[in-house]
Amino acid sequence: MDFELTKEIKAIRKEARRFARKEVLTRIDEDVFKRDLVIKMGQLGFFGCAFPFQYGGSDLGFLAHSVVCEEISRADSGLRSLFNLQALTVAYTIMEWGTQQTKDRYVKDLVVAKQLGCTCFSEPNAGSDIASIETVIEDKGDHFLLNGAKTWISNGTVADIAIVYATFDGNLKHKGLCAVVVETNQPGWMTRETPKLGDKSSPIAEIHLKDVSAPKENLLGEWGGGFKVAMTALDRGRISVASGAVGLAQACIDCSVAYANNRVQFGKPIAEYQLIKGCIAEMVSLTEAARLLVRRGAWLNDQGRPFTREIGISKYFAGEAVVKVSGMAMEIHGGMGYSLELPVEKYYRDAKLYQIGEGTANIMRLLIADDALGIKKANRKRLHVHSEFQSLE
């Protein structure tokens, strides 16, 4: 494997870094959703790395997506979720599984951030267990009708387009799931923002669906094939989640190095004390390891090779790493880390989400362990049209 980034990826990384410093960091104290920044990122092509030109992309691939996502998360982890929602779990899922009419209608608008998207998996009684989804989809002949409730939906209060996962028969579990694209500007789509610990610039919502409709052509994949759609979406979504964790871990290193070099105690900078050096060394090592793991997973996806196992490992490791790194950053900063005057407390709050979102740490452990023990192989043959997908049960 060549660890050197291409000149094209380096160029877009440079642009993402410039944007993060000039546009994102200067407004980091605004703990609100900033739609204007999202639109600018879309216009600059940050969400389009993995998409072909016809859908507003640059065709640079998933490794480029990972690199750009890391740079933005380094400035504000809350904006990391947009790389999922404008790209991998919404737009790319529509591009991979949708009808041509659905692709033409939604994908480019999402990639360039003309419209915002969200993915509706979780429910009050269904989190990691997607097969237990209770939201109901009914075939009404000329359209679908959806009723139910969703929770912990990123972008839920601001999305124009949603992929909703629902069941036509709960007794069938995963075999009854369907995925459908829904436009949110209708009376039955009702949202309420959920207050949360971190990632304040990324709204999360409870959503209630009452007789929400969708045209028949908005079905993704086959009727009853929603579980397969979900699994492929989650695989790719973990690229941006793991990349975001790496970016946030790097931010913790950046601020800790600066603080250690400037904070003087007992007549010298605390950077000269061995315990501080030990913390910095561990933070750097964990972050570099996580970076290599996630880039390997993204690279495998670019090669069209199986990557579920590898991206699961990277998502798990990066999530654990950023929580530990942010805690060590708090220790290095001492009392100032606990104050609201420096960003390290924000990093500490934001980090925890990486152990939870897009597959919890325990779910990732199960995936990795089942593969190692020969109980259930994580990787499966990569196929490019949904009618050819192998059984994912």
Query: What is the pTM for the complete model shown?
Result: 0.94
Instruction: Answer whether residue 387 shows pLDDT above 50.
Output: no
Q: Is 388 a catalytic residue?
A: no
* pLDDT at position 127: 86
Instruction: Answer whether residue 278 shows pLDDT above 50.
Output: yes
- How large is the average pLDDT for residues 40-59? 97
Instruction: Answer whether residue 391 shows pLDDT above 70.
Output: no
Give the 3-state secondary structure of the chain.
Answer: CCCCCCHHHHHHHHHHHHHHHHHHHHHCCCCCCCHHHHHHHHHCCCCCCCCCHHHCCCCCCHHHHHHHHHHHHHHCHHHHHHHHHHHHCCHHHHHHHCCHHHHHHHHHHHHCCCCCEEEECCECCECCCHHHCCCEEEECCCEEEEEEEEEEEECCCCCCEEEEEEECCHHHHHHHEEEEEEECCCCCEEEEECCCCCCCCCCEEEEEEEEEEEEHHHEECCCCCHHHHHHHHHHHHHHHHHHHHHHHHHHHHHHHHHHHHHCEECCEEHHHCHHHHHHHHHHHHHHHHHHHHHHHHHHHHHCCCCCHHHHHHHHHHHHHHHHHHHHHHHHHHCHHHHCCCCCHHHHHHHHHHHHCCCCCHHHHHHHHHHHHHCCCCCCCCCCCCHHHCCCCC
Instruction: Answer whether residue 340 shows pLDDT above 70.
Output: yes
Domains of the chain listed by start with CATH number? 7-111 (1.10.540.10), 117-223 (2.40.110.10), 228-388 (1.20.140.10)
Name the band, by pLDDT with cuts 50, 70 and 90, for residue 393. very low
29-33, 42-46, 171-175, 385-389: lowest mean pLDDT where?
385-389
- How large is the average pLDDT for residues 171-175? 94
Name the band, by pLDDT with cuts 50, 70 and 90, for residue 161. very high
Average pLDDT for the chain: 94
* pLDDT at position 382: 59
Name the band, by pLDDT with cuts 50, 70 and 90, for residue 1. low
Each residue's pLDDT tens digit, 350-386: 999 999 988 899 999 999 999 999 999 999 775 544 4
Pick the catalytic residue from 331, 358, 388, 393. Answer: 358
